[in-house]
Amino acid sequence: MNTVSTDDRYLHKKFIGPYILKKTLGIGAIGKVKLAYHSKTNKKVSVKIIRKILFSKKPDLKIKIHREISVMKLMFHPHIIKIFDVLEDSTYLFLVIEYASHGELFNYLVKKGQLHNREALCFFQQIVSGIEYCHRYRICHRDLKLENILLDKIQTIKIADFGMASLNVSNELLKTFCGSPHYASPEVFSNEPYDGMKADIWSCGVILYALLTGKLPFDEENDNMKRLFNKIRFESLSIPDTIFPECKDLLLSIFIIDPSKRITLFKIKTSLWYKSLPLRRTCRNNFLENIHVTTIQNPVFIPDPDIIKFLVPLRLVSDQSVLIKVLCAKEPNLVRILYRQLEWRKMKMDSLQNDIIYKAIKRRKKLLKKKVYIKKKEIHSKIEIWKQPYKFKNYVVVKLLIKITISFFFSLDGITLCPLTSCCFIT
């Protein structure tokens, strides 16, 4: 993490690191989220400001925040919110994340009431693409809901809030109940050990149903949790006739109580309704980084301290010393794969944030504009030369042009084509 020397007085100036803080986007239990601009690139970002004093009062909160940072650092996908930077001082922790200007999908749905089939499918394809990416890295979101899905300025889906995320390592079952009860799968609700990936698929189904109907599939007045659980567990789901039959089949295959029989992401992607709309480019590519096999096979003897900082909170091993030993092991392992992914992402994000690269791009644009201006001057000068009186004494150009004409001869028998060729000299 980068350290920024700042205090409350500095914060009042609305400037933190290279970012200029602007209006407040939201206020939560642990801090604020502010809109900010990069001072050099003018790029808009969101800055999550967390008071560090809360970490001493709630040690679990510190673990949760650092795990969220580590999980977000692992991912680089067009439908997952990006984390650009982590800054801190003695009082605050600043998470600089991607700015989604159109806010929550929940608010968008409230305004529209419900979405047409095509728009709902477009959003659903993007959500599935992002969740598939998470699952490839064994990351379970565990808190998927309309409020945690954001829209950018061109209404592209951005999955956010990985505070409840967990790594599903070696197919181990999870035990912690988390997320919103209305989006939670039956196995999560009943406090049984569960597969986080299967639970995410159930939540995706709840989101899809809400997009198409404008209401949640399982709801209860006064938020009576016992009745809500009984609805989810025992009552059959009522699907309106306005929903396409192929989509009905998909929803019914998602809302299966037994997680082992629940549809997989692969089968969702091959379903008739899902394929009825051409995929966006961002959904066609799975955006899994092609980390070279040799980099995973080769031991990491001198690990990057910054990367180690983000691997430790994932709790793949007991402590940092064990983590380093695992990275040095001969056999490839999940820890090394994640290390290489963080290494790749660090290089990628450094190139995006690097001031030198930004200056080079700016200089290149100026040069291109200058060349266009020079070309325009050259064209103008050539026109001026062409307008000058022709000087026969210098040279005479002789060109042989072949002129081909086709004549039509009409007779009683029909039409006859007769090609004629003629030559002429032009000087």
List 422's β-bridge partners, or say none.
Answer: 403
Q: Which two tokens stand for residue 196?
A: 């986080």
Give 376-398 as a DSSP string. HHHHHHHHHHHHSPP-TTT----
Q: Which two tokens stand for residue 232?
A: 């989810």
The C-alpha atoms of residue 203 and residue 209 are separated, in whole angstroms, by: 10
Q: Which two tokens stand for residue 236?
A: 């059959």
Q: Strand 2-3 to strand 83-88: parallel, antiparallel, or no bridges (unpaired)? A: parallel
Catalytic residue among 7, 85, 89, 143: 143
Q: Which two tokens stand for residue 316?
A: 């793949």
- Name the strands in the sheet holding 2-3, side by side, starting at the edge strand that comes first in the sequence: 2-3, 83-88, 92-98, 44-51, 31-38, 19-27, 15-16
In this structure, is the dihedral angle defined by the CA atoms of residues 218, 180, 130 and 332, taken in order, positive or negative? negative
Give the list of residues 6+ apart from residue 102 with CB closer than 8 angstroms, or none. Answer: 108, 150, 151, 152, 153, 155
Find, among 160, 158, 199, the residue nearest to 177 by Cα. Answer: 199
The C-alpha atoms of residue 131 and residue 80 are separated, in whole angstroms, by: 9
The C-alpha atoms of residue 264 and residue 128 are separated, in whole angstroms, by: 11
Instruction: Tell me, yes or no, if 413 is annotated catalytic.
Output: no
The H or E element containing residue 157 is strand 157-159
H helix runs in 170-221, sequence order: 186-189, 196-213
The C-alpha atoms of residue 307 and residue 305 are separated, in whole angstroms, by: 5
The C-alpha atoms of residue 378 and residue 263 are separated, in whole angstroms, by: 65
Please give the positions annotated as active site.
143
